[in-house]
Copies of this chain bind each other. A is one copy, B any other.
Amino acid sequence: MAARESAPPAPNAGRRSERSRRAIYDAALALVVEVGYPRTTIEGIAARAGVGKQTIYRWWPSKADVLMEAFLDLAERSAREAGEQPYSIPDTGDLAADLKAVLRATVDELQDPAFDAPSRALAAEGLVNEELGRQYVAKLLEPSLQLYVERLRSAQKAGHVRPDVDPRIALELFVSPLAQRWLQYTGPISHDYTDTLVDYALYGLAPRPQA
């Protein structure tokens, strides 16, 4: 569920500001886990990162913006560490295999504590803070869902998905169950589980007539 959004706002890209940016991201993610979103402040992030708060204000307009950038960066690093190409879905011509591969990688990412705790804290706040929730969706979630839309459109062109199917709804049949199990602890997640979701979604629950 990594997003492929814009690069961070380009500070003067010297080594020192890169180090500051990394420290600010780490501080923001750690604080949102420890004290929650409402009590995370620019001042708190600055103190923990060892930078002046003006440094943060110069690069980001608000704490929500710092956190969104920190998450984009986290998701990208997490994908690279897992040996995945971030922000892409393969198109080998085998839709089931491609979806299974991406969802297996997502399961691994969701099970990584470095990703789980801050994502969970931000998602929780987004449930009761509609403005933040909508930002979270627009900046982090929807861009990665659009990758599924593109993959499903390509499958429609290849005749592997019915032409009348709306790809933006279709992707939810396998993405949303995984998201709910992970976020709400409604069940275990595993590669077998996401493989099953893909098979059910593609071939349907009802018996299929023989060709």
Residues of A within 8 A of B (CB): 36, 120-121, 123-128, 130, 133-134, 136-137, 141-142, 145, 152, 159-162, 165-166, 168-170, 172-174, 176-177, 179-181, 183-187, 193, 196-197, 200-211
A165-B200, A200-B173, A200-B201 known; A184 vs B133 contact (CB < 8 Å): yes
* Choice from B128, B137, B200 contacting A169 with Cβ under 8 Å: B200
Q: How far is the CB of A175 from chain B (nearest CB, A)?
A: 8
Q: How far is the CB of A122 from chain B (nearest CB, A)?
A: 10
A177-B176, A180-B172, A200-B201 known; A209 vs B210 contact (CB < 8 Å): yes
Q: Chain A at the B interface: mostly helix, strand, loop or mixed?
A: helix
Residues on B with C-beta less than 8 A from A145 are: 186
Count chain B CB atoms within 10 A of each CB in A121, A145, A170, A210 and give the residue with the most: A170
Once bound together, how far apart are the Cα atoms of A208 and B163, in whole Å?
12
Once bound together, how far apart are the Cα atoms of A121 and B129, in whole Å?
10
* Choice from B120, B128, B177, B187 contacting A173 with Cβ under 8 Å: B177
Q: How far is the CB of A11 from chain B (nearest CB, A)?
A: 31
